[in-house]
Structure 1
């Protein structure tokens, strides 16, 4: 048995095995088939591939990440967990999952997209199936949007052909040409296949600052009325948010068919962060660096940030985005 195993391994590694010469044609074909199978197994073990050993959704991990790492976003946490879990557990979705996250800088939009990727792909955001685009970097010239559109469509088609569980994240959507966004529309619609390719198991996430003023105003109104922040519900913001970005000619969603055709599954507002959330972010960063929890240090960092409106000073202008650099400064 040991000799046979050694020969099969050598065969897999394309090394001549003396026993193979003694096999009859049928046995040789069997050994070749087994060798090919094992070769593929060994390759997939070391090289990322589109199979369960590399792609396995961890709902418990996503829930833990959202509850322990994302602060002040009760609406987003609940919707993200339900939407992603339901989609990933559906073997036959009717369309791709399309999420649009809106909020000020530092409220957690990028952070959420990374959490989702880290709980789907073994390689997380380093996975070859995770695709991240920044509009001002990848599509900088508006007069070239037709070229960008063709390139982007080919990129999406090629990646989904390679793996149906591909994920595409578009940052700074408010700065993207509306025509380019409409170029994505066919991939998000209720089609079984387009040119032989099914996009129904892919995930598309749009990140944008568009609508932030509406979100902040709603949060401030609740605060002024003495209501709890957690009383703000999706129904208080979703329709307001979709109409705002659709009718805003400064938004990448301006008059786009993605909204007109209801292809975005959820418009998810991320609320501006308050002092307590900045404190939590700072403590989390301190612990992540392997340091002991330091309340005094976290308070110094949180107090050093700028807050708005000027009179009330309720919300942090940059959210948790500058925590790392602030912490480096105080250390």
Structure 2
């Protein structure tokens, strides 16, 4: 009968804590025998310790395509374009044992449309610990890069951080939030790590994932969605080809995009520019219902509709798109109950 994991861990703790001294005095022959048995035991079950502490191994990093597909279909509301692109991009990348470059995704759209949420779903599908994984790294401009005068210092620190973490685990993920508030040119500092290099200073970055989140380009996305609405066309008819070129140009030429005139764009290092459409009233209602379920509360359709009606919409006369998407739904639920 195989020892239980709990027994293995307990034995390991006893050894590490020195509690075996409690059985002294002990004969040399018995001690040697115990040591030999223990050595064989630990050799046979050395992999068991990987289950108790996160490490860069399949026990902790393993892509769940089915899980990601289900989450995108059930949890990501009103984003048929983003859902399709994300699933294909991540699945293709994680299924390739020898990718030619890191996966680079740039997510764009108004606040509250699901960009951060998608990053979480991707992390959950790859890492057992999800966003809490030691291999998922999140940067925000105001917290990590607050002073324009220290741009060169930030570049150097960012390079060292990425190199160190990818050296530790090839399957590392880096998320850059609030890209539209980031100092122009900062991202160019990590360009070599996103390019088609086999190795840089002995380190391969090809299995890493970089995700940029930005509100930049959101206005052009909203305008396209508004054009479809005014033309009496369903939003599900909007395709990536209707937005991709205009979106990339908008981001490249926007000084507040974080990707302004960056070589990542003109060198085609961003694999996908992913548009997030503005959310309508019906989507906000769905968000409210989903939030209730997540909070283990009884779903209330009337409450969800009341909450959705009280939000600010654009254009004001038509009240088509929620200005803040679903961003404030969670906090407002407490106010309405």
Q: TM-score normalised to the size of structure 1? A: 0.92
* Structure 1 residue aligned with 2:145: 139
1:148 aligns to 2:154 (yes or no):
yes
* Structure 2 residue aligned with 1:304: 310
1:314 aligns to 2:320 (yes or no):
yes
Choose which of 106, 110, 115 in structure 2 pairs with 1:104.
Answer: 110
- 8 Å contact from structure 2 (residues 64, 125) kept in 1: yes
Instruction: For 2:295 and 2:95, locate their aligned partners in 1 and report how far apart those are by CA, in whole Å.
Output: 35
The within-5 A match list for 1:1-331 is 13=15, 21=32, 32=39, 35=42, 38-39=45-46, 41-331=47-337
1:36 deviates by: 5.1
- 8 Å contact from structure 2 (residues 182, 256) kept in 1: no
Compared CA separation, residues 277 and 35, structure 1 to 2 (3 A): same
Detail structure 1 runs of 4+ shifted over 6 Å in the superposition. none
Over residues 63-120 of structure 1, what are the superposed CA-to-partner deviations in whole Å (9 max), with x where a residue is unaligned? Answer: 1111111111000000001100111111000000000000000000000000100111
1:293 deviates by: 2.1
Instruction: For 1:18 and 1:295, locate their aligned partners in 2 and report how far apart those are by CA, in whole Å.
Output: 74
Instruction: Tell me the SS of whatever aligns to 2:180.
Output: helix
Over residues 236-276 of structure 1, what are the superposed CA-to-partner deviations in whole Å (9 max), with x where a residue is unaligned? Answer: 11110111111112221111000010000000000000001
Compared CA separation, residues 192 and 323, structure 1 to 2 (3 A): same
Q: What is the alpha-carbon root mean square deviation over aligned residues?
A: 2.4
Instruction: For 1:242 and 1:290, locate their aligned partners in 2 and report how far apart those are by CA, in whole Å.
Output: 40
Instruction: For 2:33 and 2:295, locate their aligned partners in 1 and report how far apart those are by CA, in whole Å.
Output: 61
Instruction: For 1:273 and 1:36, locate their aligned partners in 2 and report how far apart those are by CA, in whole Å.
Output: 56
Q: Give ranges in structure 2 of 5+ residues lacking alignment.
A: 22-27
Instruction: For 2:75 and 2:242, locate their aligned partners in 1 and report how far apart those are by CA, in whole Å.
Output: 25
Instruction: For 1:190 and 1:125, locate their aligned partners in 2 and report how far apart those are by CA, in whole Å.
Output: 27
Instruction: For 1:122 and 1:139, locate their aligned partners in 2 and report how far apart those are by CA, in whole Å.
Output: 29
Instruction: Tell me the SS of whatever aligns to 1:183.
Output: helix
* Structure 1 residue aligned with 2:24: none
Instruction: Tell me the SS of whatever aligns to 1:99.
Output: strand
Instruction: Tell me the SS of whatever aligns to 2:260.
Output: coil
Compared CA separation, residues 22 and 125, structure 1 to 2 (3 A): closer
Instruction: For 1:280 and 1:265, locate their aligned partners in 2 and report how far apart those are by CA, in whole Å.
Output: 31
The number of residues matched between the two structures is: 324
Instruction: Tell me the SS of whatever aligns to 1:207.
Output: strand
